Amino acid sequence: MPVHNQDIAAVFEEMADLLDIRGDNPFRIRAYRNAARTVLELGRELREMVEAKEDLTALPGIGDDLSRKIEEIVRTGTAAALQKLRAEMPAGLTEMLRIPNLGPKRVKSLHKELGVQSLEQLEKAARDGKIRDLAGFGEKTEQHILDALKARALTGKRFLRAAVTPYAGALLAWLEKIPGVQQVAPAGSFRRAKETVGDLDMLVVAEAGSPVMDRFVQYDEVKHVLAKGETKSSVLLQSDIQVDLRVVETRSFGAALNYFTGSKAHNIAIRRLGQQRGLKINEYGVFRDEKYIGGRTEQEVYAAVDLPWIPPELREDSGEIEAAREGKLPELVRADDLRGDLHMHTAASDGQNSIAEMALAARALGYEYIAITEHSKRLTVARGLDEKRLMEQSEEIDRLNSELKGFTVLKGVEVDILEDGKLDLPDDVLKRLDLVIASIHSKFNLPVQKQTERIMRAMDRPCFTMLAHPSGRLLLEREPYAVDIPRLIQHAKERGCFMELNAHPLRLDLNDLHCRMARESGVKVCINTDAHGVSDLDNARFGIGQARRGWLEKRDVLNTHALKQLKSLFARTMGK
């Protein structure tokens, strides 16, 4: 079975989690977490590098020991060291880490003090009121745990879209090579660029006699065949992603793609429009009585109800049909509209590459500019920069800009917003930069009014360009902190600053609804990767997907502007 980078990263993450629960050396734990990040951010499959006998120790943070473990995982699918750790403690402990607000220390405490070693036992302990009395918990945390467990039960197992992407790509490429296969396309929430995906839907057009179904259930990443039929089969991959494959006729491909892409609410609305015209619209096509009208393409389906084609990202029955009818569908932003990336870190703080390496990688992507925005001094865990180091970095950027041709590195910082709304660095230092990104990395549990006013006070500082990852959420890991985002958007409009759409797959923050609110308020959104290494720059594609779900056009996105216009916009936020 081919091992993907996500599989290798998952092994390292689980090892780090188990070592953390055990109370192991923090440097060892950090090494595994950094290795997991390196693997996830790598632009190539590690198994290919292993097969080519390339030197893995050339990768950032990968020494001899980790290199050997990667080779072992590629060869066997796991690591003996992980199996040993699993044998030492209950398997349910790592599942508990996926509950928001339960870090390794709290999981260790629950296990040691209450004997909790599974989600079921965790729920019982919370319902019995036993958790609130533990040191570091309390009644509010106990209720948060119950709420998170309830939400988990309602939503079922979901995966980050970014985590599903390589599996979908590999399967798509494999299906296309099967004899008789003429068309293949993903559908469902994956195609609509939802932040998380429950399962993966694939559609295929194949000639009669094609072995596509037999080959599909024999795909070497299949762990279990859930169902097999002539036109539909379902499998569970080794990654626990369920894949449903449907074979459809050529004349039905567009109708099926439309139907299985969804959303359900969008489909119902389209079918209702069809009924008003005496048409029946389903996954097989568009029909008047029993006569086939169309359905080879999605365009034929929409044309049957007098609509233009609607981009998949908009299909949520949230106004897209009315906009299509009135000729007001947005011309959604595309990846090639981006001219730069304005939030990234280097080895000076918690990144992996130098300023020059980040600049050259961005230029190779066709960008015209980047901004270097290290963490500020308060974030000691990320080796945040104080005033002296920040000014030294500015001088380094000046030297680099004198050497680069047709590319500009802007001077910035990601400065912490303190609890009182002040910024972590003085104004006279910040004024010497091109832009200031501000964000929250502490005091997540403030009441909504206090948290919102904290950020608004920060926005009112003399130097404030952009609010980074505004809600603080980590998808499937941490809920957003309590904050009034619509109020912040309105304040950004009044202040003349901007909102970030952080494209990191764990964040995608702003969410799609808030992107749309910003657009309607006239507040520009900046699609940034928050890159910590050169390969992170590729995450812009996930930010683009989120921006498209939020109805953003090129003109709504800050970093689609040319550098001259960008600097003019920045100057207003920096009191210049």
Mean pLDDT of 222-246: 92
Please give the residue that has the higher pLDDT: either 97 or 569. Answer: 569
**Mean model confidence pLDDT for the chain:** 93
Mean pLDDT of 539-566: 97
Stated as kind and residue range, the H or E segment containing 363 is helix 355-364
Q: What CA–CA distance (Å, rounded) separates 457 from 460?
A: 5
| Beta strand ranges found along 283-363 (DSSP E) | 285-288, 291-294, 340-341
Residue with token string 């449907």 = 246
Mean pLDDT of 267-285: 96
* 5-155 and 159-248: identical CATH topology: no
The pLDDT assigned to 1 comes to 64
Q: Is 472 left (phi over 0), alpha (psi -120 to 50) or beta?
A: left
The pLDDT assigned to 94 comes to 78
Q: Tell me the pLDDT band of 352, cut-offs 50, 70 and 90.
A: confident
Per the CATH hierarchy, to which homologous superfamily does domain 159-248 belong? Beta Polymerase, domain 2 (3.30.460.10)
pLDDT exceeds cutoff 80 at 523: yes
pLDDT exceeds cutoff 80 at 500: yes
Which of the listed CATH numbers 3.10.270.10, 1.20.1740.10, 3.90.228.20, 3.20.20.140 matches domain 335-573? 3.20.20.140
Range 5-155 has CATH code 1.10.150.110: yes
In degrees and rounded to multiples of 5, residue 295 shows phi and psi of: 140, 5
Mean pLDDT of 455-483: 94
Question: Under a CB-based contact definition with an 8 Å cutoff, are residues 408 and 368 in contact?
Answer: yes
Q: Of the candidates 210, 521, 562, which has an alpha carbon nearest to the alpha carbon of residue 406?
A: 562
Q: Tell me the pLDDT band of 86, cut-offs 50, 70 and 90.
A: confident
User: Structure tokens of 300?
Assistant: 């034929």
Percentage of residues in the chain having pLDDT higher than 90: 75
The pLDDT assigned to 42 comes to 77
pLDDT in tens, 281-304: 999 999 999 999 999 999 999 999
User: Is 422 strand, coil or helix?
Assistant: coil
What global pTM score does this model have?
0.83
Q: Report domain extents, the chain.
A: 5-155, 159-248, 253-325, 335-573
Query: How many angstroms separate the Cα of 64 from the Cα of each of 6, 21, 55, 386, 540?
Result: 20, 25, 10, 34, 32
The pLDDT assigned to 77 comes to 86
Question: Under a CB-based contact definition with an 8 Å cutoff, are residues 476 and 491 in contact?
Answer: no
pLDDT in tens, 132-156: 989 888 888 888 888 888 877 765 6
Q: Of the candidates 62, 83, 84, which has an alpha carbon nearest to the alpha carbon of residue 5?
A: 62
pLDDT in tens, 26-65: 889 989 988 988 888 777 789 989 999 999 998 888 999 9
Percentage of residues in the chain having pLDDT higher than 70: 99
Query: How many angstroms separate the Cα of 23 from the Cα of each of 11, 35, 37?
Result: 18, 19, 21
Mean pLDDT of 169-187: 96
Q: What CA–CA distance (Å, rounded) separates 96 from 116?
A: 10
The pLDDT assigned to 156 comes to 66
User: Is 471 strand, coil or helix?
Assistant: coil
Stated as kind and residue range, the H or E segment containing 518 is helix 512-521
Range 253-325 has CATH code 3.30.210.10: yes
> How many CB atoms are closer than 10 A to CB 222?
18
Q: Which residues of 91-127 are buried (b: 16+ CB within 10 A; e: fewer)?
A: ebbbebbebbbbebebbbbbbeebebbebebbbebbe
